[in-house]
């Protein structure tokens, strides 16, 4: 599919005042997207677990306008409080998507959004937030053109979400999503995420991700800036080859249930991501001393117990502790007794692999 496939077929209809609501999860990349080109196109394919508990719910209230404008007018409420913080990012999003959903300029909007995770948790809300908003826009398209198929609906939602934030392309569906062309993944695309197309070994069903909140502050370097620093990066070309190889291997691991190999790939990806940051120009470090302390504790515990706990990191200091469901009792004890002291105010989020977004408006 190319971008033209997502052009809008005008029905000449205008919706009267109404609203749509979607809940969309966050996701954690196991194979990392770090480096992009063009309009939000990834330099390598990435793969993520869709999360379950960490999500954003967004209501998009639309009112038809008399005079169509270039960029739609909108206001944003987070947890019922009006805020302008997210307006620039959403304005860019509307601008990027309007060629594909030109009807959006026929309305003005109030956007009501809330996250299940705390604002200041350091967890990026852009993946869940942008995908929830993209799904709301797609529900408007569906109201205007009820004949669009479910497959088209979700593909285009992921396509639009990507234009808001790359990783958001992976938040529309569950439970494992690939975004970016990869030769081992049939029908994979740089334009949108697809569900992992092979049967997943039962050991990964209900896999856990306990997110340890090491540093809840604002990140010193944004993801967007970090992606840009991959241009002219001395190790960029080999990093993209490494990610592609790792996805190849992980695809087999996920099908065969090879936990030892899973750990090696996932931890290597996390550390390679941060190695790219440390070797950028300018260089930067997002890990904190407690990030490293937790990693060392995990390695020590794994060696002593032969359990299959491992970690991954996103673009920040927080640690995602990953483990299979049948080891949860022992590993939860370990987290509570040995890792929580390294978290800011002992804060953490218990999450697990999830099934993707849901429409709330359809049920009400």
- Chain residues that interact with ligand DP6, rule: CB under 6 A: 29, 32-34, 40, 46, 124, 126, 165-167, 223-224, 227, 273, 314-315
Specify the residue, 20 or 353, whose C-beta has the smaller distance to ligand DP6. 353
The beta strand positions in the chain, using DSSP E, are 18-31, 36-37, 41-42, 46-64, 74-78, 81-82, 107-115, 176-179, 193-195, 208-212, 310-313, 319-323, 348-352, 358-359
Q: How far is CA 148 from CA 61, 159, 311, in A?
A: 22, 15, 40
Specify the residue, 167 or 344, whose C-beta has the smaller distance to ligand DP6. 167
Specify the residue, 40 or 116, whose C-beta has the smaller distance to ligand DP6. 40
Taking the complex as a whole, the smallest distance from the CB of residue 29 to ligand DP6 amounts, in Å, to: 3
Q: In angstroms, how far is CA 231 from the centroid of its own chain?
A: 22
Residue recorded with tokens 């099934």: 355
In angstroms, rounded to a whole number, what is the distance separating the alpha carbons of residues 171 and 123?
Answer: 14
Q: What's phi and psi for 147, nearest 5 deg?
A: -80, -5
Taking the complex as a whole, the smallest distance from the CB of residue 187 to ligand DP6 amounts, in Å, to: 20
Taking the complex as a whole, the smallest distance from the CB of residue 32 to ligand DP6 amounts, in Å, to: 4
Residue recorded with tokens 């992980």: 250
Specify the residue, 322 or 331, whose C-beta has the smaller distance to ligand DP6. 322
3-state class (DSSP) for residue 11 = coil
Cis peptide before 162 (omega within 30 of 0): no
In angstroms, rounded to a whole number, what is the distance separating the alpha carbons of residues 80 and 246?
Answer: 43
Residue recorded with tokens 């480096």: 35
Closest among 78, 124, 63, 40 to 313, alpha carbons compared: 124
Specify the residue, 184 or 340, whose C-beta has the smaller distance to ligand DP6. 184
Specify the residue, 130 or 309, whose C-beta has the smaller distance to ligand DP6. 130
In angstroms, rounded to a whole number, what is the distance separating the alpha carbons of residues 251 and 324?
Answer: 17
Q: Quote the crossing angle between the two packed helices 87-97 and 126-144, to the nearest 10°.
A: 40
Taking the complex as a whole, the smallest distance from the CB of residue 177 to ligand DP6 amounts, in Å, to: 11
Specify the residue, 63 or 219, whose C-beta has the smaller distance to ligand DP6. 219
Closest among 126, 117, 74 to 95, alpha carbons compared: 74
Taking the complex as a whole, the smallest distance from the CB of residue 15 to ligand DP6 amounts, in Å, to: 29
The answer to whether 163 and 40 are in contact (CB under 8 A) is yes
Taking the complex as a whole, the smallest distance from the CB of residue 102 to ligand DP6 amounts, in Å, to: 23
Taking the complex as a whole, the smallest distance from the CB of residue 145 to ligand DP6 amounts, in Å, to: 28
Specify the residue, 49 or 348, whose C-beta has the smaller distance to ligand DP6. 49
Specify the residue, 58 or 165, whose C-beta has the smaller distance to ligand DP6. 165
Taking the complex as a whole, the smallest distance from the CB of residue 165 to ligand DP6 amounts, in Å, to: 3
Q: Which residues contact 53 (CB under 8 A, 6 or more apart)?
A: 116, 117, 349, 350, 351, 352, 354
Length of the chain: 364
Taking the complex as a whole, the smallest distance from the CB of residue 42 to ligand DP6 amounts, in Å, to: 8
């Amino acid at each position: 599919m190319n971008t033209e496939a997502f052009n809008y077929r005008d029905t000449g209809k205008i919706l009267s005042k109404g609203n749509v609501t979607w809940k969309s999860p966050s996701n954690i990349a196991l194979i990392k997207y770090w480096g992009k080109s063009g309009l939000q196109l990834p330099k390598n394919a990435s793969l993520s677990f869709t999360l379950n508990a960490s999500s954003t719910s967004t209501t998009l209230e639309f009112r038809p306008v008399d005079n169509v404008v270039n960029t739609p007018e909108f206001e944003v409420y987070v947890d019922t409080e009006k805020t302008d913080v997210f307006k620039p990012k959403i304005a860019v999003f509307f601008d990027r998507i309007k060629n594909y959903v030109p009807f959006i300029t026929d309305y003005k909007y109030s956007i009501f959004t809330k996250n299940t995770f705390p604002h200041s948790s350091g967890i990026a809300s852009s993946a869940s937030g942008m995908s929830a908003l993209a799904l709301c826009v797609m529900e408007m398209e569906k109201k205007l053109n009820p004949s669009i198929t479910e497959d088209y609906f979700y593909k285009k939602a992921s396509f639009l979400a990507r234009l808001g934030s790359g990783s958001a392309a992976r938040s529309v569906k569950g439970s494992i999503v690939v975004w970016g062309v990869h030769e081992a993944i049939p029908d994979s695309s740089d334009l949108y995420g697809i569900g992992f197309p092979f049967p997943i070994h039962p050991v990964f069903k209900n896999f856990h991700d306990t997110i340890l909140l090491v540093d809840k502050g604002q990140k010193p370097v944004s993801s967007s800036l970090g992606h840009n620093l991959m241009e002219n990066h001395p190790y960029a070309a080999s990093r993209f080859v490494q990610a592609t190889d790792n996805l190849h291997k992980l695809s087999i691991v996920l099908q065969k249930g090879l936990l030892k190999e899973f750990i090696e790939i996932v931890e290597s990806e996390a550390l390679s991501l941060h190695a790219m940051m440390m070797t950028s120009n300018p260089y930067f470090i997002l890990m904190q001393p407690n990030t490293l302390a937790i990693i060392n504790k995990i390695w020590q515990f794994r060696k002593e117990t032969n359990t299959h706990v491992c970690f991954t990191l996103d673009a920040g200091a927080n640690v995602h502790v990953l483990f299979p469901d049948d080891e949860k009792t022992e590993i939860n004890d370990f987290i509570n007794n040995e890792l929580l002291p390294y978290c800011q105010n002992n804060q953490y989020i218990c999450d697990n692999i999830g099934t993707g977004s849901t429409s709330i408006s359809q049920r009400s």
